[in-house]
Amino acid sequence: MVPAEILTQDQIRADTARVFGLRPCVGQIKATAAQLKKTSDVVYISGTGSGKTLTFWMPMIYEKDSITILITALSVLGQQSADTLCETGIPAINVTRTNAKVQTFEAIRKGSYRLIVVNPELLIHDSRFDRKIVRSARVLHL
């Protein structure tokens, strides 16, 4: 991993375009740099359709061993995120009632996924989302 202090805005923009095929704006680049520095929590507020999702994908380019839990009530957004990351080679899963099976949680505990998408209800009520899983990950709420 390249230390966050060394990454330039141009490098983050170029890496994002190479991996995701998208050109991030300055705000997304600054939010990514702040996430990578890990000196504080990052709150990123922007309008619908403005690219918040890309903003949480971007650090995954640099943090090869990171695990992110995305909490979203929007099942379509969750599935799109998991599908897109899988297409770029970043292992991801959208955990739903349908696939919330023993094998899924075994794979999550083994670190098979870098992005785990889940809706709030399943996260709260399914005891297999134990504290160890949640504490080891970067948790995002959309």
Task: Render pLDDT for 61-72 as a digit per residue (tens, 0 to 9).
Answer: 998 888 888 888
Q: Which pTM value belongs to this model? A: 0.81
Q: CB within 8 A of 136, min separation 6: which ones?
A: 67
- 15-44 pLDDT, tens digit each: 999 999 999 999 999 999 988 888 777 777
Q: Name the residue among 57, 25, 55, 58 with its Cα closest to residue 43.
A: 55
Chain mean pLDDT for the chain: 86
Q: What is the mean pLDDT of residues 62-90?
A: 89
- 111-136 pLDDT, tens digit each: 899 999 999 898 888 888 876 676 66
Structure tokens at 85: 């990351």
Is the pLDDT at 141 greater than 90? The verdict is no
Per-residue confidence (pLDDT) for residue 104, from 0 to 100:
93
Residue whose tokens read 């899983």 = 133
Please compute Rg for the chain using Cα positions: 15
Categorize the per-residue pLDDT at 53 as very low, low, confident or very high, splitting at 50, 70 and 90: confident
Q: Name the residue among 4, 45, 41, 3 with its Cα closest to residue 28.
A: 45
